[in-house]
Every structure is written in structure tokens, then in C-alpha cells.
């Protein structure tokens, strides 16, 4: 397993999924954090460039990094925001904040079926409403939680200290740049074709920590380009790393026979917002039968991009956003097998090899 720290040397650009043509559209927005497929593209393209754009030579030198049609043995097993040697992930969406007090609460499934008198478009009668035990209005939290704090608190049903959350404004600053289209035949400005591109300036010392396996990485440090317009970055191989202990959460899951799946990166499911066949395969391999009883899911994010092999835009797909949480009950089977085999597992039905749907599990209690 290789751990790589990627730090920007200048502004970055991570385009959203909306189609954009300079001069025709007026604004190109950025997304943050970038999708795991962007970091996967950085790793695989770096190896491919080192091999002279020859897939077979790259395979012989670095291992099976795949082809334009697949990922081979390459697997992205971790993607985190990193600041001052500490890893962060988006705040889970079952953690909310009181609008007036700023106090944190958990949104949890109700213990009783209170659907009578409530009206919703839930696709299943087994799904329960989420409830925060608060007398005030609550709202979602935008920011990043340290990975060790996530394991020590949220995955164990403990509300974290608000001071541990890293706000978005302390991580990056948007820097829009206005440009004008160029007439390629005359090489002069094309009148009326103004457009704006939203670049991102990350705070000093902020970058991305990615962990991957299946290929060999050349060297200990170097330079490369990342994202739109090939912005410069430098990379550094990190020392051995392992995720925090899940011991306390494992005990909670075993005793209650309940667990929640927390997405740390976006996931593309065949069933829209609901986990699909890959999750079912993971549960079957662990010998458990489960029931989904609740979900805290954000608005879908659109993932597109440009295929360098076919020289054409990729299809735009809707993904469940990072931070989404799914609450399950174990109906049959031994929970210890599920916990022991989970670790950090990618549950996306598509591009899971590239880190989509990277998840951890934790315990939960009814409201």
C-alpha cells in the first residue's frame, strides 16, 4: 500500500459536471474536494507518462494499472484532505448543529414507527424518520472532521467537540478569473465571448492524502499536474500509515446488531440514492442479512469529465455526496464478520476501484 501526499503549488481547478464551452457558457465552477476519479487519474496518468504512454510498458514497469476500459489491479483505498499532518473527511450528515446555540446533535432513526400522521415519499415502509433531540431548529454542518476524531466519537455515537471541525473557509479561497474567448483564425479577442473560471486557492500546507495498491510508485518525491488546465503540484511518499482503531465501535455494533455506513467520498448507485448490488455482495460475503431503516443523504452531485482516450466528454452521472449516512439493522448473521472485513471499503456500484464510495462503519442508537 502506498500513501501519497499531493500539495498544490498554485491555484487548482476541479470542474463540476456541468458542460462548459468557453465563450458560450459564462461560468465554469469548481467542486471541492475533487472526486476520487480525479486523483486516480493523476496517479495512473503519471505512471503512463513515465512509460511513454505505452500501456504494456507501464504494466511491466509498475504493475497492472489497467487500460482505457478498466482499472486492472489498481485500487484507491483512501482519499483524505490533509492539513499539518492530520487527515480530514467531510462531516457526516447525521451530525447537525443548532441554529441558535451552535450545539451539535445526532439525527437518528426514531425507535417507534410514527408514519401514521406523517406523509413522505419514502420508497419503503421500513424506512424511519430521522430525529434530532433538540428544542431548536437544526442545520447541516459544512466542514471537515479529523479522521481520528471521526473514529473516536461519531462512529461510537458520541457527539464531537465543535472546535474539532475544520470550516471550509480555513481550507480554501475561491478565486474567479475572467477571460475572453480567442478567435483562432485571427488570434485576436473574440468580442462578446467573456467567461469566468472559478479557481481554488488552498490554504498553506493543505493538500490531498491518497492511498492505493496494485501498482508500484516510482520515487519518493516529485512534481506533476492535477485537475483542469494541468495545475502544478508536488508529491511526497508518506511513511507507513493505518486508519484509527474501530474497536469501540465494533463492540457497539456487535451488542446492538446495528451499524451505519458513512460515505467519505461520493458514490454512484444503480438505485439512485440507495446502495445497490456491491453493498449486497459485501453483506453476503460477511454472512449477514440486513435491513436499511434510515438514511441521511444530501443532494446529488453531478460527475462528468473528459475522456482523454476517446477525446470526448464523459457521460454525466448523478452521485450520492460524501458525508451521506445509511442506518442498518442486522437481521441474521454474526456482526463480527462484517466489522472485521470492512475497514475502509468502497461501496459504489461504479468506479469503486477508483475510490468512489469510500466508507467506514460505526454504531448507532435509536432516537
CA distance 167 to 73: 36
pLDDT at 24 over 60: no
pLDDT of residue 210: 97
pLDDT of residue 16: 75
Q: How do residues 66-80 score in pLDDT, each as one tens digit? A: 998 899 999 999 999
pLDDT of residue 243: 79
Instruction: Identify the band that residue 103 occupies on the pLDDT scale cut at 50, 70 and 90.
Output: very high
In 3D space, the residue among 146, 155, 161, 96 whose CA is nearest the CA of residue 296 turns out to be 96
Q: For the chain, what percentages of helix, strand and coil (3-state, to nearest 5) are there?
A: 20, 40, 40
Locus of grid cell 499536474: 225
Percent of the chain with pLDDT over 70: 92
pLDDT at 41 over 80: yes
Instruction: Identify the band that residue 274 occupies on the pLDDT scale cut at 50, 70 and 90.
Output: very high
pLDDT of residue 304: 80
Q: How do residues 198-232 score in pLDDT, each as one tens digit? A: 899 999 999 999 999 999 999 999 999 998 888 99
Burial of 285 (0-12, 13-18, 19+ CB in 10 A): exposed
pTM confidence score: 0.91
pLDDT of residue 189: 67
Q: How do residues 86-99 score in pLDDT, each as one tens digit? A: 999 999 999 999 99
Q: How do residues 158-174 score in pLDDT, each as one tens digit? A: 999 999 999 999 999 99
Kindly report the number of other CB atoms within 10 A of residue 78's CB atom.
25
In 3D space, the residue among 161, 173, 241, 164 whose CA is nearest the CA of residue 206 turns out to be 173
SS3 state of residue 338:
helix
pLDDT mean across residues, the chain: 89
41 or 121: which carries more pLDDT confidence?
41
Amino acid at each position: 500500500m502506498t500513501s501519497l501526499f499531493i500539495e498544490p503549488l498554485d491555484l487548482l481547478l476541479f470542474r463540476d459536471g456541468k458542460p462548459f464551452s468557453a465563450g458560450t457558457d459564462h461560468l465554469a465552477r469548481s467542486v471541492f474536494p475533487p472526486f476520487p476519479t480525479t486523483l486516480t487519474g493523476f496517479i495512473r496518468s503519471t505512471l503512463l507518462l513515465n512509460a511513454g504512454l505505452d500501456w504494456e510498458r507501464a504494466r511491466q514497469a509498475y504493475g497492472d494499472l489497467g487500460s482505457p476500459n478498466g482499472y486492472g489491479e489498481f485500487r484507491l483505498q483512501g482519499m483524505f484532505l490533509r492539513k499539518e499532518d492530520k487527515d480530514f473527511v467531510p462531516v457526516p450528515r447525521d451530525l447537525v448543529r443548532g441554529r441558535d446555540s451552535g450545539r451539535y446533535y445526532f439525527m437518528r432513526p426514531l425507535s417507534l414507527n410514527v408514519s401514521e400522521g406523517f406523509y413522505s415519499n419514502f420508497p419503503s415502509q421500513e424506512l424511519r424518520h430521522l430525529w434530532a433531540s433538540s428544542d431548536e431548529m437544526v442545520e447541516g454542518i459544512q466542514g471537515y472532521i479529523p479522521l481520528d476524531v471521526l473514529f473516536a466519537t461519531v462512529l461510537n455515537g458520541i457527539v464531537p467537540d465543535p472546535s474539532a471541525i475544520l470550516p471550509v473557509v480555513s481550507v480554501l479561497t475561491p478565486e474567479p478569473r475572467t477571460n475572453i474567448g480567442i478567435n483562432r483564425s485571427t488570434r485576436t479577442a473574440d468580442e462578446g465571448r467573456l467567461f469566468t473560471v472559478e479557481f481554488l486557492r488552498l490554504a498553506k500546507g493543505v493538500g490531498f492524502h491518497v492511498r492505493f495498491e496494485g501498482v508500484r510508485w516510482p520515487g519518493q518525491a516529485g512534481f506533476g499536474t492535477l485537475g483542469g488546465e494541468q495545475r502544478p503540484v508536488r508529491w511526497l511518499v508518506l511513511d507507513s500509515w493505518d486508519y484509527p482503531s474501530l474497536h469501540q465501535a465494533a463492540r457497539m455494533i456487535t451488542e446492538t446488531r446495528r451499524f451505519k455506513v458513512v460515505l467519505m467520498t461520493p458514490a454512484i448507485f444503480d438505485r439512485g440514492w440507495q446502495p445497490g448490488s456491491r453493498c449486497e455482495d459485501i453483506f453476503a460475503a460477511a454472512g449477514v442479512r440486513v435491513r436499511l431503516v434510515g438514511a441521511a443523504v444530501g443532494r446529488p452531485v453531478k460527475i462528468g469529465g473528459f475522456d482523454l482516450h476517446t477525446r470526448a466528454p464523459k457521460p454525466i452521472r448523478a452521485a450520492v455526496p460524501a458525508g451521506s449516512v445509511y442506518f442498518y439493522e442486522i437481521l441474521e448473521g454474526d456482526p463480527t464478520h462484517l466489522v472485521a472485513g470492512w475497514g475502509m471499503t468502497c461501496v459504489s456500484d461504479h468506479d469503486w476501484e477508483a475510490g468512489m464510495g469510500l466508507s467506514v462503519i460505526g454504531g448507532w442508537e435509536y432516537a
